[in-house]
Structure 1
Amino acid sequence: MFLPQAKRPLNVIVVGAGKKPTNLSRHWVSSVNLFDTTLALGIGGLATAISLAIRGHNVLVLEATPKLQEVGAGIQIAPNMRRVFKRLGIDQRIKDKAIVLERIKVFRWQNGRLLNEVMVDHQYGECAVIHRADLHTILVERALGLHNIVLRLNSTVMEICFDSTKVILCGGESISGDVIIAADGIKSPVRSKMFLDGNQPVPTGDAAFRIVIPRSIMIQDPELRELIDTRQAVRWVGPDRHIVGYPIRNHELYNVVLAHPDKGWTSESWTASGSKDEMLEVFRGWEPRVQKIVRAASNKEVLKSKLCLHLPLQTWVRGSCTLVGDACHPMLPYVAQGAAQALEDAAALGVVLSNVETVSEVPLALRIYEKSRKHRAEEVQRSGTQNRVSLHLHDGPDQVARDEKFRASLAGGEDPDKWTDRKTQQILWGWDAEAEAQRCWSGMTVSLIEPALSCAPANSPQKP
C-alpha cells in the first residue's frame, strides 16, 4: 500500500523499555532466532517505528535490554488494529498466524448456562486472535527489514533534555533528534520525567491470571476439545470475576485470562508467577468446564497481574517529546483494545509528523497528534472500566436484569457486554486513526494551537 511520504524527513528517537522476565515455558515465548531471554520493545513502539520509517523518516530505536523477546500469550486483533497492519505492510503475515473468530459466547458462572451468542461482525474487517510472541516477531522482522530503522539494544535512556530534544544514555552518551517518542510502557520512566508527581496507578480491586494450555491436554476431554477446535471466544461471567478463553497458534494452544478480586498477591506486571492452587481457590464453585481448564494448567505457566486504572494525563506532549500506548493510556482488558489503541497512536503519528515542513513544526504536529488521539483513547479506557461493572455483578436483581438484556440483545437490543455490543463495536472497530489525524491536521488553525504550545511540564494528571 502506497503511503504519502514525509514532506521533511525527521530524525526520530523511539524509547523502548526492557526488563527481565521470570522463567517461562516455551508456550509463552517465541522460538525464532531473533530472540533470546529478555523482554523488549512492545507492540506500540515497534508499530510507531515502522509507521514513521515507511513514510521516509529515519528512526533510531533505543531499547534497554541486551536481546529481544516478547513474552505473553493470546492477544485479540480488532478490526481497527487490522486496518493499521495493512498500512504497515504486514497484514498477510498476520493472517498466516492468526485465527479469525466466528462467534463469541457468554456463559453463566455457576451452571454454564448460555447467556448470549453473537456472530462476529466483520463489516469493519476481520476480528482475529494471535499469539503475542508471533505478532511481536512479525513486527520485529518488518522493522529490521527497513533500512531507515536502527535498533540499538542495551541502550538505557537515563535523562531526557526536552529543550534540546536529546536523550542521555547510561554511560553518558548523548543522542539528539528532531522528535522523541516514548514507547516505554505502563511504568514509563519518560512519563515520570514529564510530570513532576508522576501518574500513580489506582487499583481496580481486580487481578488476573493468564494461562496457556497445549492442545495435547485439551483434546483429552470432549468439552475442552470443543473449545480449542472452534473459531470462537468464550466468556464466563460471575460475582466479582470473569474468564475469557480462545484458541491460538492454529488451535495448538488455548489462551485463558481469569479476572478476579485482588488480594494483594502481585504487582502491575504480567511476569509474576501464580499457581494452580490459587486459581482453584479463587474459582471454587464455578461450572465444570472452568474447573477442567484450571486443572489442565501447568504451575510453570501461570502468570498473574494486578489490574489498575490510570487517570487521564493533562497532556501527552512536552516540546518535541510525546508518549504512545501504555505510557499515556494504559487499558484495562475488558474490551480488548490495549494493543489496538497503541496501533492507532502509531498510525496517527505517521500522518502528522509526515505533514511537517520544518523541524520547528514538530511541537505543533505532536499537539495535533494529541488532539486526534487523546479523547478517543480516554473514551475507550472508560468503556473498559464500565464493562467491568456489568461483568462482575453478584447474583441478584441486577444480575437477573443484566441476563435479560443478554437475551434481548439476541433480537437486536443493547448488549450489556460492551465487547459484543454492536453499537460499541462500531465505535471501537470502525475508527480510522489515520483519517482522523489527517482531519485534525487539515482543520487545526495556528490560533487554536498556540495556547497549548508551552513546553513547561505539567504538574499532575487530570482528576476524574
Structure 2
Amino acid sequence: MEPTRAKVPLDVVIAGGVSGLGGMAAALTLGLRGHNVIVLETARKLTEIGAGIQVAPNMLTLLDRWGVSPSIHTRGVPLERIHIRRWQNGQLLWTRPVNKTHGRQVVIHRADLHQALVDHALALPNVELRTVSTVTGVTFSPASVTLASGAVITGDVVIAADGIKSTIRGHLLGDGSSSPMPTGDAAYRITLPRSAMEQDPDLKRLIAEPVATRWVGPARHIVAYPVRKHELLNVVLLHPDRRGVGECWTTRSPKQSMVDDYRGWDPVVTKLIDLVTDEEVSEWKLCLHEPLKTWTKGCVALMGDACHPMLPYVAQGAAQAVEDAAALGILLSSITSRSEIPLALKVYEKCRKQRAETVQHSGSVNRITLHLPDGPQQEARDEQFRACELGGKSPDRWSDRETQRYLWRWDAEKAALRAWEGRRRHVSRQIRHRL
C-alpha cells in the first residue's frame, strides 16, 4: 500500500513532534501524502537521546511503506533468538527463534531511528521544522496553538505529539483527570561498547549474537540486546522506584544504587554493571495515566504517549505511536472537505483507542508476570516457560505467539481505511433511511 495523495491537502501543525517518534512519523506520512506540515519543537537543536528500541513487525511494515526501512536495516540488528533466564544464576528457562511469521524484529538505537524519521520527513519540501517553539495553549475550532513567545500558529489540524506530560491534553480534557501516575517502577538504561566486552567470553557472546536476553526476578527484570551493528549493547534494568510521587521523572543516580538493586543476580549481570563508569547513571520513573474519555476535540487530536503511554514490557510504545501516525495519514487524506476533519478525527479515535489501550493493558499485566517473587507462583511460571518448548503458551506476553499475532500482524493503515469506509456506509444508510 503506497501512500496515496490527499484528496484535500491540509495545513497540519504537529506539537512536540521531534522529541518523540510518533510525531515525526506523522509528519512523514502526512508529508508523503501531500499535506503541508509544521513540526514544533521546544529544544533549540536536536540531540541524541534514549538508548535501544525494538522495531516490531507492525511498525516495520509501515516504515517500509514510507521508505524508512533501508535506514533502519543499515543501523539496526535483526534479532534471531530470544533467551529468558532466571535472575539468580542465569539458568535458561526458555529459548526460541524469533517468530518471523509477521516480519522481522529489528533492534536499533532510538537516536538512529529518530534520525531516520527526521531525515526522511525534512527531505520533503512540504514539511517544516521550527525549534524553540514551546506550545502553551490551543484552540480547537478553528485549530491553532499559542507559543511561549506569544506567537499563534494556525492550521486545519493540530496533532498533539507532546508526550505523557502533554500540555495540549490538559486543555483538551479540561478536567485535570489525565495527570500521569507513577507505576512504582523505574528503569536504568545503559549502553556498553563492544570494546569493553570482547575480552570476556560471556559478555562477548551478548554483544556478538543477534539475541535478546531477559533475566526475570523478584520485582525486577533486565533486557539486553546489541544495537548499531553489534557495536553497542543496550541494557534496560527495571526495578522498584525509590523516589517520591512528585519527584522529577529523569534523574541521575549513583552507580552504587544499581549495584544494590541487582546484588545477588546472575554473575553475567554483575559483569555488565561492573562495566558502567563510576559516574552517575540515568534513571527513569515509569508513569501511566488512566484511559482517557476522548482523544479528540474539534480539529485537534492526541497521539502516542499523550493519550496512551506504554510500559516497556511488550515493546510496543513506539510501535503504537507509529500506528497512530499511520491512521491519521490515511484518514486525513480520505476526506473530501475540510468540514470533515472533526469526523475523520473521531474515526481515528474509534479505530485506535481500543487497540492501543488493549496493548497498554498487556504491558501492565506482563509486569506482574515478570516480577513475581520467588515461591509457588514463580515456580509455576518457570515451569510454564519450560513447557513452551513443547508448544505451550508463554507466560511472557512479549514472547507469546498468540499475543504476537495480535500485536504484529495488525496493519494500522488498512484498519483505518476499513473504519473510514464503514463510517461512510453508515452515513449513507442514514441518509437513505431519512429519505
For the superposition of Structure 1 and Structure 2, which TM-score range results when normalised by the shorter chain? over 0.9
Is residue 264 of structure 1 aligned with residue 269 of structure 2? no
3-state SS of paired residue (2:313): helix
In structure 2, what is the Cα distance between the partners aligned to 1:266 and 1:92? 42
Name the counterpart of 2:253: 274
Per-residue deviation, 1:41: 2.5
Q: 1:195 aligns with which of 161, 173, 177?
A: 173
Among all aligned residue pairs of Structure 1 and Structure 2, give the percentage whose two residues are the same amino acid.
54
Is residue 298 of structure 1 aligned with residue 282 of structure 2? no
Is residue 15 of structure 1 aligned with residue 15 of structure 2? yes
After TM superposition, list the pairs within 5 Å mapping 1:102-141 onto structure 2.
102-141=80-119
Does the CA-based 8 Å contact 1:212-1:301 persist in structure 2?
A: no
Per-residue deviation, 1:250: 1.1
Is residue 62 of structure 1 aligned with residue 37 of structure 2? no
Q: Taking structure 1 as reference, are residues 143 and 268 closer, same or farther at Cα in structure 2, changes over 3 Å only?
A: farther
Runs of 4+ with >4 A deviation: 265-271, 445-449
Amino acid at match of 1:282: D
Name the counterpart of 2:163: 185
Name the counterpart of 2:262: 283
* Residues 257-298 of structure 1: per-residue CA shift (max 9 Å, x gap): 111111117978774212221011011111101111111112
3-state SS of paired residue (1:335): coil
* Residues 100-148 of structure 1: per-residue CA shift (max 9 Å, x gap): 0000100001111100001101111110100111111111111110000
Amino acid at match of 1:137: Q
In structure 1, what is the Cα distance between the partners aligned to 2:88 and 2:254? 22
After TM superposition, list the pairs within 5 Å mapping 1:1-400 onto structure 2.
2-16=2-16, 40-196=18-174, 197-264=176-243, 271-300=250-279, 302-400=281-379
Does the CA-based 8 Å contact 2:188-2:236 persist in structure 1?
A: yes
3-state SS of paired residue (2:285): strand
3-state SS of paired residue (2:356): helix
CA RMSD of the aligned region, Å? 1.7
TM-score of the superposition, structure 1-length normalised? 0.89
3-state SS of paired residue (2:399): coil
3-state SS of paired residue (2:292): coil
Amino acid at match of 1:121: N
Q: Taking structure 1 as reference, are residues 432 and 268 closer, same or farther at Cα in structure 2, changes over 3 Å only?
A: farther
Per-residue deviation, 1:220: 2.2
Does the CA-based 8 Å contact 1:268-1:305 persist in structure 2?
A: no
Per-residue deviation, 1:223: 0.6
Does the CA-based 8 Å contact 1:387-1:418 persist in structure 2?
A: yes
TM-score of the superposition, structure 2-length normalised? 0.95
3-state SS of paired residue (2:164): coil
Per-residue deviation, 1:173: 1.8
In structure 2, what is the Cα distance between the partners aligned to 1:71 and 1:267? 23
In structure 2, what is the Cα distance between the partners aligned to 1:200 and 1:408? 41
In structure 1, what is the Cα distance between the partners aligned to 2:278 and 2:227? 20
In structure 2, what is the Cα distance between the partners aligned to 1:310 and 1:232? 33
Amino acid at match of 1:255: N
Amino acid at match of 2:284: S
In structure 2, what is the Cα distance between the partners aligned to 1:41 and 1:101? 26
Q: Taking structure 1 as reference, are residues 301 and 430 closer, same or farther at Cα in structure 2, changes over 3 Å only?
A: farther
In structure 2, what is the Cα distance between the partners aligned to 1:83 and 1:267? 39
In structure 1, what is the Cα distance between the partners aligned to 2:152 and 2:236? 42
Q: Taking structure 1 as reference, are residues 325 and 268 closer, same or farther at Cα in structure 2, changes over 3 Å only?
A: farther
* Residues 383-437 of structure 1: per-residue CA shift (max 9 Å, x gap): 0000011101111110111011001111111100001000000010111000000
Amino acid at match of 1:6: A
3-state SS of paired residue (1:180): strand
Per-residue deviation, 1:70: 3.7
Does the CA-based 8 Å contact 1:268-1:307 persist in structure 2?
A: no
Name the counterpart of 2:389: 410
Does the CA-based 8 Å contact 1:203-1:306 persist in structure 2?
A: yes
Q: 2:403 aligns with which of 404, 420, 424?
A: 424
Amino acid at match of 1:208: A
* Residues 306-361 of structure 1: per-residue CA shift (max 9 Å, x gap): 11232100010011000111111000000000000000000000000000111110
Does the CA-based 8 Å contact 2:164-2:180 persist in structure 1?
A: no
Amino acid at match of 1:45: G
Does the CA-based 8 Å contact 2:186-2:286 persist in structure 1?
A: yes
User: Unaligned 5+ residue runs, structure 2?
Assistant: 429-435
Does the CA-based 8 Å contact 1:274-1:299 persist in structure 2?
A: no
Deviates most, 41-50 or 155-164: 155-164
Query: How many residues are matched?
Result: 427
In structure 2, what is the Cα distance between the partners aligned to 1:66 and 1:400? 51
Deviates most, 257-266 or 65-74: 257-266
3-state SS of paired residue (1:213): strand
3-state SS of paired residue (1:233): strand
Does the CA-based 8 Å contact 1:100-1:126 persist in structure 2?
A: yes
Does the CA-based 8 Å contact 1:157-1:168 persist in structure 2?
A: yes
Amino acid at match of 1:7: K
Per-residue deviation, 1:447: 6.4
Per-residue deviation, 1:62: 1.3
In structure 2, what is the Cα distance between the partners aligned to 1:269 and 1:98? 31
Per-residue deviation, 1:84: 1.1
Name the counterpart of 2:432: none
3-state SS of paired residue (1:72): coil
In structure 2, what is the Cα distance between the partners aligned to 1:76 and 1:152? 28
3-state SS of paired residue (1:366): helix
Amino acid at match of 2:68: I
Q: Taking structure 1 as reference, are residues 269 and 235 closer, same or farther at Cα in structure 2, changes over 3 Å only?
A: farther
